[in-house]
Structures are given as C-alpha cells and as structure tokens.
Amino acid sequence: MSNELDYLSRRVAAGKLSRRDFLGRAAALGITAPFANSLLSSAARAAGPVKGGTLKAGLVGGESTNSLDPALMMTQVPFAFGKCWGEMIVELSPEGKLENRIAEEIGSSDDAKVWTLKIRDGVEFHNGKTVTAEDVAATLERHSDEKSKSGALGYMKGIESIKASGKEVVLTLKEANADLPYLLSDYHLIVQPNGGKDKPDAGIGAGPYKIVTNEPGVRHVGERFANYWQGDKMGHADQIEVVVINDATARTAALQGGQVNMINRVEPKIVDLIKRVPGVTIRNHAGPGHYVFIMHCNTAPFDNNDLRMALKLAIDREEMLNKVLRGYGSLGNDFPINASYPLFTEIEQRKYDPDKAKFHYKKSGHDGSVLLRTSDVAFPGAVDAAQLYQQSAAKAGIKLEIKREPGDGYWNEVWNKQPFCASYWGGRSTQDQMYSTAYLSTADWNDTRFKRPDFDKMVLAARAELDEAKRKAMYHDMAVMVRDEGGLILPMFNQFIDATGAKVGGWVDDPHQELMNGYALAKCWLEA
Amino acid sequence: MSSPIVKLVAQRVALGILLLLAVSVLIFAGTQILPGDVAQAILGQSATPESLANLREQLGLNQPAYLRYFHWLGGVLTGDLGTAMSSGQDIATSIKDRLWNTLFLAFWAAIVAVPLAIILGLIAVRYRNGWVDKLISGVALASTSFPEFFIGYLLVFYFAVQHQWFPAISTVYEGMSFGERMQAIALPAAALTLVVLAHMMRMTRAAILNVMQSAYVETAELKGLSAFAVIRKHAFPNAIAPIINVVMLNLAYLVVGVVVVEVIFVYPGMGQYLVDHVTKRDVPVVQAVGLIFAAVYISLNIIADIAAIVANPRLRHPK
C-alpha cells in the first residue's frame, strides 16, 4: 500500500499526476488528507526541480561560423542551444513516444496523406507575440521550399501543400506517410515568428530561454523566459550558458575544475579515468548512431554480393567494440537499425567467421587487395578500426589495403564518392526516415549505392501502413535484405557519452541524441 | 641628423606596404587552391546537389578569380573586409573583438616575458658557465622544447584541475571586470610566456656575450668596473639591435602563433576564428585574417629595423 502511495507521490512530483487525483487515490486507500499532503511535499522535495542559478555546459561542436537560423543548424552546439530558445511542433519523449508541444493534437486521414495539426493556445514568442497556426505553417513552408538550405529539406520535400486556417494547419503529402509526426520532431523545425521568413537568424523562439548573448564559436547565454508555457517542466535555472570547448582535454578539465556543469562527447578511451573524479557522473546511453564501412553496390569489385558477404564476415565486431569503443556501444548487424527505434525487431547476430568469409571470397572470384579509405574524422577511432579490420580480414585470406585520407575534405572528396570507406551515421528517429535518407534508390545520401526497386516498394508500402504489426514485419524483411545484400558493414553502434558535475539534478537518459536529446540545459537544475 | 632617419623610416614603410601588397596576392592565390569549395564545406555531409547549386550562386562563387581579387582589395582599402560566407556576419565587426582579445593576451604575455627574458639573459651572462647560467638556460630550453599544448595541459592540470586557482578555460566576454579578465588569461599568458621566453633569453645572452669579446669591454673591465656595470653600460647598449630583433619576432609570434594555445584554453581570439573558418573554406575570412597577420608581422619587423637603426649610429650614417 505504501509502495503505491510512494509511487503515486513521485508521479505527482514529476508532474504526471494531478494533486487532486493523488488525494483521491489516497482517500480510497484509507489515508487521511493531512498525512497524504505531507507525503506529497516530501516527495516533491526529493524529486522536484530547484529554481535558480546558472547552468553551464561545455560542448564540442560550435564554430564561429554558426548562425541562429535553425535551417542551418548542423553541429552539436546550435542543436543544444536551439532546444533552449526554440520550441518544437512536436517532440520525442525519452521513451520514444510523441509529445505534443506547439501542436496540441495531431490527426491524420485514414490513408495518412492529409495531416491536421491543432495549434496550442497561449504559447508566446520571446517578442511577446502569440504563436499562431500561420507561424507554424510558415515555418514548415520555409523548410520545405526546394530552394531552402534547411537540413530538414530532405524529409520536408514530401509535403505537397501547407494550409493554415484558424487554429489548424493542414498538411497534404505527396505520398502517404504514417510517420509524419516523427519527422516534425526534427530539430531544425523550431517554430519562428512568420516562420523566420523575414529574419531567419533573429533568434526569436518560444522556448524556455531567451537569448541574451550569442557569440558563435565562443559562448551562448540564455535567460529564463518568464512567459514560457510550460515553466514547471523546463527552464529551471535562471540562466543557461553554453561554452564552446572543442578540445576534448580542455572540456574535461573545465568539468573537473567546475567551470561547467556538463559536457558532451567524452572520449571512450578516457571514460574510465573520468569516472574516478569525485562528483563527476558519466551519462552514457545507447542511441541510433552507428560507425560503418560502406561499399558501393554498383562499383566493381563490390558489385558482387559474395565479395560483400566475405567482407561482412571478415570483420571482428566484438574486438572492435571492445578496443575502439571500450565497450561503450553495442554490436552492429549490418543494418542501420537498433533497439532505439520504435519498431525494431531482433535478427540473428552476424559473427566473425574467417572460414565462411574465405569461402565467399573464393566464390566471388576476386583476388588481390581491396582498398579501404579511412580518416580520423570518419568517426573517432576510425583509423584504429580500419587497422583492426585489416588484421581480422587477413586471417580470412582477404588483403585489405588501408588508405588514410586527410580529415580536411573527407566528406567532400571521399565519402559518398569512393567505393569503400569508413563513415558514421547519427541515425534518425524512425526506420522510415533512416531508410528513406540512405537506402532508397533516389536518396541523395544513398552512400552504399543500394538501388533496388523491390526495396523501394517495400519502403513506400511500410510508410503508408498504419497497422503496427504489419509494419513491424515489413521492416523486418527490409532489414534482412539490407543485411544480406546491401553494401553496409556495420560493426558497432556507438553510445552517447556525456558527463555531469556535482549538483546537476533532473538528468534523464534519452536515447535519441546526446545531452538528453539536447534538452539537458533546459530540463536539468542545480541542486541547492 | 633627423633627415637620414626620416628617409630611412619612409623607405622601410614604403617597402612594408609593397610587401603587404605582394602578400595579399599570395594569400588570395593560396585560398584559391584549397580543395573543395565553401558551399560544399558549409553543407558538409548533408550536401545535396540542389542545395549546393543554390548556395554557390548566392555566394557569388561563379565569378572569375582576378575580378574577385580586385573587388576584395578595393574593399580592404576602404576598411570593408566583406562578410563571412558561412554565417553572413560582417568580418570587420567579428574580427574587431577577437583581435582585441588576442592583442590583450599577447600584451600581458609580452609584459611578463620580455623583461623576464632580458633580465634572465643578463643574469646568465653575469654568471656565465656557472650553475645559475646552466639552470636558467636549462629550464628555458626545456619549456621551449615542449610543444605548446603540452605546457598548456600541464598548467591546466596543476593550476585548474588539482588546485582550482585559475579557470581551466579562458572564455572572456564583455562586461567582465579587469580582475576577472586577468584571472581568465593567467594560464594562457603563462603558457605563452614559457613558450617565447627561451628564445629571447638565449638571444640576449648570445648577443651580449658576443659583445663581451670586444676590446672596449676588456678596457672597461680593466678600469675596475663591476661585472654588472660592464654589462649594463658597455655591453648591453651595443647588443641591443639583435635583442630588439628577436623580441619583435617573438611579439609577432604572440599575435599570430597562438592558435594552439587559444584552442586549448578556449580563448576567443584570432587563432580560433581562423581555424574555424579554414575548415569551412570561408575564403573572405581566411584572407582577412591572413592579411592582418601579415600586417602585424611586417610592421613589427619595420619597428625592429628602425629601432636597430636608431640604436646603432653606424647604421644611421652609412659610408
């Protein structure tokens, strides 16, 4: 009985149960109102956020070239700061559920082609203007314009028309897409006054903090926005500050020295050292990001599936996970999906098998060496990983020739151009998004040149399917196809490794992105 | 006596301007041969053919190079450094604060390093070949031989992480008091001091020792002056030209060579600004920063030349 009360009081403290409902439950359990009230306040003291103070983060991924225009946000600092000053239409909760923000309700037609967003009342921009359906529509228009430079353009292109009327925004899609609400959680889609069409980098949003200092590449400061519509859930610190610290050693030193309360991207090789520092907590958690070697399925010798299979079997995933990521990750299985996706299904784990690799290699008829390009920037530890791969492949009789490319220009000159190279993917929020971005024949970023009309059909069918069980089965089939016939070698999924200093309260692991999906500054507080 | 000096100064300045012009051509040509282009770099891994084409057109990357050079030079001469391609910000405005920060750090590092180096050099000469000399030279050489990042990390480890006397990161911003600012730059200034100290100290020592071989120093010694008085009155004034040269060289280094130190200490100066923009292929910024660095180098060298001339009558009155 007391367990249940405990649980319920914590629910109230977390804002998931109303006080009134709690007292009702307590009465039903035979507890007097004064006692129930005292239970409640002790729970609130234990779990409740503390207001005040300045919360500071030292983050890698900021440059003096950063802009406040959400369309141009690319790296970690604009991403994390954007979640502080901007408000989204809809967001993914840490559990992977859709959480309505500026949209109060999202509904679709039965064929998932027409979507209606009902806009919440009383959400205010930092300039005092109320958020309207027109603002939301204009935001989506700006990001779906063919001429836009928006990082979200790839997904937004599928929208045929956007109409605002009254309190509603109606989106008509070119093709049915059951995942549309997930796409709307893309971090570029910060709602701006008139969609940011007038002045995209004005930095006016509806988020919990308004911008007071914006020095790209140096620091960004936000001050609590008094009229934030959800002030009890976010915006606990009076002020938040992002200090750009791109150097990994300087970043950890700043956390240890107490200049910042949290940092991102702790390198796997120093995690065990950092763990020993008093007051510092490592916040590592799984996500959809993965480190890969990609082969072009349409370029010799990789156009031969036996050779691709040989190369997939010749990689020692466990060794790589242990040595490159020091265990801070999970095994990959040659398809880009893991348990952080809502409709994931398990498939038998592919293992290092030199004999089988040798068999497929012989069958492919290829001899001589295979050229693999790698670089420090492909992913942290990519050069070491390539060397490990070279050794494990040698045991299967496959000669890998490693070419180390300069980091400068790697993404322009090597990735998506050369037939076999190391790379990484940050992952997406849904399987459809991931497959549409990189595995559809027409995808701009089809970096494995996986061009299969039968696969394309499966993607489109799954996208329009509203029955979850059927969809799950479809995604399973697609995963098997990519795994057994595609050009992707995926040895490991990496974890996000953040760290917080003493006194940081309210941290919740979020599998979608680092720093609680970017909300760490907005949702955490400084314990008194 | 003033006219030959004025003439010499005018000559040096004119030469400096010519040199700067030549450098501007080199910088411009250099930035043209970087692989890839700014549009590609801005969009990075997420570039699509359409977005690339849009951005290229918007940035005016389709014009021929020589046109862009003259356009740029004209702008620079009128104080307009253009706008950064990647962020659309006015370069002159962004550089102003950064340049000020870099100069501030360089100034305080120089205030400590230059007198310290010269005094240590004098002391080393006074006790030449003794243990004091060896200790000074040894420590100075050791601090120079370590890479800057290593010295920086050592300072951070000891003074920021272990003892927390100074902050590990040196972000400075407007509204900071002078005291806070000084505390913030303490570690990077110390790192820079250690890096440039040995060079100046060794040069001072060598230059003075060189003079010490001369007959007039021997005369001074013979007439019974104390060792320090000999160095101060007779040796140092005659060794000043090479000392000024090496000091200026190191001052220039404090401004243009601090990239690594600025990155380690997260100090918002020119070095970090340049690094960011080089990786983005932001040509106008790279050009502007390059030109400013060249100007700093050239003007400090001119000052060194002129000071050497003023200090040495033999250079002032060439035969």
Q: What is the pLDDT of residues A78-115, one digit of tens each?
A: 999 999 999 999 998 888 788 999 999 999 998 889 99
Residue B285 pLDDT exceeds 80: yes
Angstrom distance (rounded) from CA A295 to CA A400: 13
Nearest to residue A459, comparing CAs of A120, A82, A176? Answer: A176
With an 8 Å Cβ cutoff, the interface of chain A facing chain B consists of 58, 63-67, 72, 74, 146-149, 151, 153-154, 201, 213, 215-219, 243-247, 249-250, 253-254, 256-260, 408-409, 411-413, 415, 444-445
Mutate to test the interface with B, among A59, A60, A63, A65 (most CBs of B within 10 A): A65
Q: Does residue A301 have a cis peptide bond before it, meaning omega lies within 30 degrees of 0? A: yes
Residue A70's pLDDT band (boundaries 50, 70, 90)? very high
For the residues B283-298, what does the mean pLDDT come to?
88
Say if B11 is an interface residue toward chain A (CB within 8 Å): no
Residue indicated by tokens 């200490």:
B265
Residue A39 pLDDT exceeds 70: no
Identify the closest residue of chain A to B270 by CA–CA distance: A64
Amino acid at A464: A
Identify the closest residue of chain A to B53 by CA–CA distance: A147
What is the spatial order of strands in the sheet that A103-108 belongs to?
A103-108, A114-119, A168-173, A159-165
Q: Which residues of B touch A409 (CB under 8 A)?
A: 35-36
Residue indicated by tokens 């007198």:
B115
Residue A64's pLDDT band (boundaries 50, 70, 90)? confident
Question: Would you call A65 and B84 a contact, using CB atoms and an 8 Å cutoff?
Answer: yes
Judged by CB atoms within 8 Å, which residues 245-274 of B form the interface with A? 263-266, 268, 272-273
CA distance, residue A388 to nearest chain B CA (Å): 26
Nearest to A217 among B43, B164, B276 (CB): B276
The dihedral formed by the CA atoms of A499, A500, A506 and A512, expressed in degrees to the nearest 10? -20
Question: Would you call A151 and B46 a contact, using CB atoms and an 8 Å cutoff?
Answer: yes
Q: Which two tokens stand for residue A232?
A: 């009890």
Identify the closest residue of chain B to A221 by CA–CA distance: B173
Q: Which two tokens stand for residue B29?
A: 């040509």
Q: What is the per-residue DSSP string for A505-521?
A: E-----SSSHHHHTTHH
CA distance, residue A72 to nearest chain B CA (Å): 8
Identify the closest residue of chain A to B184 by CA–CA distance: A259
CA distance, residue A51 to nearest chain B CA (Å): 25
* 3-state SS assignment for residue A181: helix
Continuous H helices in A246-369: 248-256, 268-274, 305-313, 317-324, 354-364
How many C-beta atoms lie closer than 10 Å to residue B231's C-beta? 23
Biggest CA–CA distance in chain B, Å, is: 85
For A461-508, write each residue's pLDDT tens digit: 998 888 889 999 999 999 999 999 999 999 999 998 999 998 899 999
Mutate to test the interface with A, among B33, B54, B57, B87 (most CBs of A within 10 A): B87
Judged by CB atoms within 8 Å, which residues 144-183 of B form the interface with A? 153, 156-157, 160-161, 164, 167-169, 171, 173
Q: What percent of chain B has pLDDT over 90?
A: 28
How many C-beta atoms lie closer than 10 Å to residue A105's C-beta? 11
Residue A1's pLDDT band (boundaries 50, 70, 90)? very low
Our measurement of the distance from residue B207's CA atom to the centroid of its chain's CA atoms, rounded to an integer in Å, reads 22
* 3-state SS assignment for residue A349: coil
A158-181 CB burial, b ≥16 within 10 A, e <16: bbeebebeeebbbbebeebbbbbb
Nearest to residue A161, comparing CAs of A175, A151, A171? Answer: A171
Residue A298 pLDDT exceeds 90: yes
For B36-87, write each residue's pLDDT tens digit: 666 776 666 566 777 778 777 776 677 777 887 888 888 888 888 888 776 7
Judged by CB atoms within 8 Å, which residues 68-107 of B form the interface with A? 84, 86-89, 94
pLDDT at B241: 84
How many C-beta atoms lie closer than 10 Å to residue A194's C-beta? 17
pLDDT at B64: 77
Amino acid at A362: K
For A387-415, write each residue's pLDDT tens digit: 999 999 999 999 999 999 887 678 778 88
For B6-47, write each residue's pLDDT tens digit: 888 888 889 999 999 999 999 888 877 766 666 776 666 566
* B128 and B208 Cβ atoms separated by less than 8 Å: no
* B197 and B117 Cβ atoms separated by less than 8 Å: yes
* B105 and B189 Cβ atoms separated by less than 8 Å: yes
* A210 and A228 Cβ atoms separated by less than 8 Å: no
* B121 and B200 Cβ atoms separated by less than 8 Å: yes
Angstrom distance (rounded) from CA B59 to CA B56: 5
The partner residues of A59 in beta bridges, in order of sequence, read A244
pLDDT at A28: 65
Angstrom distance (rounded) from CA B247 to CA B249: 5
For the residues B165-185, what does the mean pLDDT come to?
89
Question: Mean pLDDT: which of A5-14, A49-58, B39-48, B269-278 is highest?
Answer: A49-58
Angstrom distance (rounded) from CA B122 to CA A500: 50
Mutate to test the interface with B, among A149, A277, A442 (most CBs of B within 10 A): A149
The partner residues of A108 in beta bridges, in order of sequence, read A115
For A342-371, write each residue's pLDDT tens digit: 889 999 999 999 999 999 999 999 988 999
For A160-193, write each residue's pLDDT tens digit: 999 999 999 999 999 888 888 888 998 999 999 9
With residue A261 as reference, give the H or E element that holds it: none
Q: Which of A112-126, A302-316, B212-226 has the lowest mean pLDDT?
A: B212-226
DSSP letter for B233, please: I
How much is the mean pLDDT over chain B?
A: 85
pTM here is 0.79
Mutate to test the interface with A, among B259, B263, B266 (most CBs of A within 10 A): B266
CA distance, residue B281 to nearest chain A CA (Å): 10
